[in-house]
A and B are shown apart, each in its own frame.
With several copies, the nearest count.
Chain A
Amino acid sequence: MSGAKPLEIIARRAALELQDGDVVNLGIGMPLLVADYVPDDIQVYLHTENGLLGMGPPPDSDHVDPQIVNAAKQPVTERLGASYFDSASSFAMIRGAHIDVAMLGALEVDERGMVANWTVPGRAVLGVGGAMDLLAGVGKLIILMTHRTRDGVPKLVRQCRFPLTGIRPADVVITELAVFRVDKDGLVLTELQPGVTLEQVRAATEARFRLAPELVAAGAAG
């Protein structure tokens, strides 16, 4: 493992999933970091569910417009070609699969790729935001999360203990240790982050997963 921080490793790798022309929703929190790592040779368009397509980076402190915010209510900017719309129109884009990619955080992902990212058991259910709409609707669902909790508990689990966000599985899960794709049979480990061994991933993962052919060929299984 390199000296980079886990979140930076995750965001950097996640940015490589983007293709030229993609319309992308980065949810709130850590995935917003991905915007800083989008390769220079591609153009992506950021959608924020509170009603803006064409979101730009946070403004410097002299140019804050408090009425231009992202889904986390933080000030952002507007890029050339941006447009504003109401919340029903914004979620029509989301549910209707007009957003190519969403990158969301998660509390847990199970071995079928099911995602829990909106609440914890036993606590009053008082907030969900756009999590369920995004999960149900976007074209490609990429989950970004640390491989374990701060207490070292694996977040890739056999079955989620936390309430699910929906019945649609993630397409890709990216952690600071590895990249998994999800197919109809569940998680497939496709890539180890630089310097990470398969043993490290196994030790940090509760969910069962298969190895992608390219990883086997590269000898990771050894």
Chain B
Amino acid sequence: MGNDVAKGKRMTAAEALARVKDGATIMVGGFGLVGAPLHLIAELERRGVKDLTIISNNLGEPGVGLGRLLQLGRIRKAIGSFFTSNPDVIEAYSRGELEVELLPQGTLAEAIRAGGAGLGGFYTPAGVGTLLAEGKEVRELGGALYVLERPLRADVALIKAHKADELGNLVYYKTARNFNPLMATAARWVVAEVDEIVPVGMLDPEAIVTPHLYVDAIVLPGQASTPVPKEASQA
């Protein structure tokens, strides 16, 4: 809801993330590292915030992206669909250092959309009769069984887009789109890392994927005025 600031959404990563506090719930876009806002994640690392709840499909790779925050012990809980590709998650979980909430990938996407769309919940067929439906309401509707799933929302969303205009309208690039447009709708403060910022009017009104009302801050990494420490910039 980038509504309190008409202009001046362009910020450094440090400015954009200044409000992120210990214990925050943060959505992070990307499917693995594809479409992940790596510069914003590096800034999260630099800020040293901890006890984070991360909503993201995965937790990066060992030492890269969100995987770096995990190694540093900054993540308390992860909500996503596929963590087994990062062995560090398995280790942290088995040591009791990381709480995990697992959702089917389509449910994760839909729950984020529902959070952004002001819905109270939805019934999905995915997961019925499985371990992932345990403890959840299962209900017959129109002759089929569905699980009730609840919306997800966050304090902050960190997303990666391809281009922004100065108002904050966004377009994405190829399969780097994935969860990013959904997360843009479901957090109180939405920061978009972009490859390019163009003047208003340069994006086709029919092709804008994320209208500007969803975006609070635009960060163009090359223009960051805040130096990023070496170990973080490797991400």
Contact = CB atoms under 8 A, between A and B. Distances in A.
B126 to A, nearest CB: 4
Secondary structure class of chain B's binding surface, majority of residues: loop
A139 B3 contact: yes
Interface residues of A, number: 64
A132 B104 contact: yes
A104 B200 CA distance: 29
B61 to A, nearest CB: 10
* Among A69, A81, A85, residue most surrounded by chain B Cβ atoms (within 10 Å): A81
B81 A127 contact: yes
Interface stretch (B64-72, B172-180, B217-225, B227-235): B172-180
A91 B115 CA distance: 13
Contact of A21 (B3, B118, B130, B173): B3
Contacts of B85: 73, 127
B178 A53 contact: no
Interface string B120-148: 00001111111110000000000001000
A170 to B, nearest CB: 14
A92 B122 CA distance: 13
B25 interface: no
A92 B205 contact: no
Contacts of B174: 52, 65, 67-68, 78, 84
A87 B105 contact: yes
Contacts of B112: 88
B172 A128 contact: no
Nearest to A168: B125
A119 B128 CA distance: 15
Interface in A97-137: 97-100, 119, 124-133, 135-137
B24 interface: no
Contact of A88 (B109, B201, B205): B109
B132 A96 contact: no
A167 B69 CA distance: 37
Given A69-B31, A124-B93, A21 B105 contact: no
A137 B117 CA distance: 9
A127 B129 contact: no
Interface residues of B, number: 75
Interface string A51-69: 1111000000000011111
Interface stretch (A2-10, A41-49, A178-186): A41-49
Given A69-B34, A128-B104, A83 B211 contact: yes
Contacts of B186: 96
A126 B106 contact: no
A50 B117 contact: no
B107 interface: yes
A23 interface: yes
* Among B104, B124, B200, B212, residue most surrounded by chain A Cβ atoms (within 10 Å): B104
Contact of A50 (B178, B205, B206): B178
B18 interface: no
A65 B175 CA distance: 10
B6 A88 contact: no
Contacts of A86: 109, 177-182, 209
A22 interface: yes
Given A83-B205, A126-B90, A137-B126, A68 B3 contact: no
A43 B113 CA distance: 28
Contacts of B94: 124
Interface string A136-178: 1101000000000000000000000001111110000000000
25 contacts: A23-B3, A78-B205, A80-B200, A81-B165, A81-B200, A82-B205, A83-B211, A84-B208, A88-B109, A92-B113, A92-B118, A94-B106, A96-B115, A96-B118, A98-B185, A127-B81, A127-B102, A128-B81, A129-B81, A136-B126, A136-B128, A139-B1, A164-B130, A166-B130, A168-B125
Interface of A: 19-23, 42-43, 45, 47-54, 65-69, 73, 78, 80-88, 90-100, 119, 124-133, 135-137, 139, 163-168
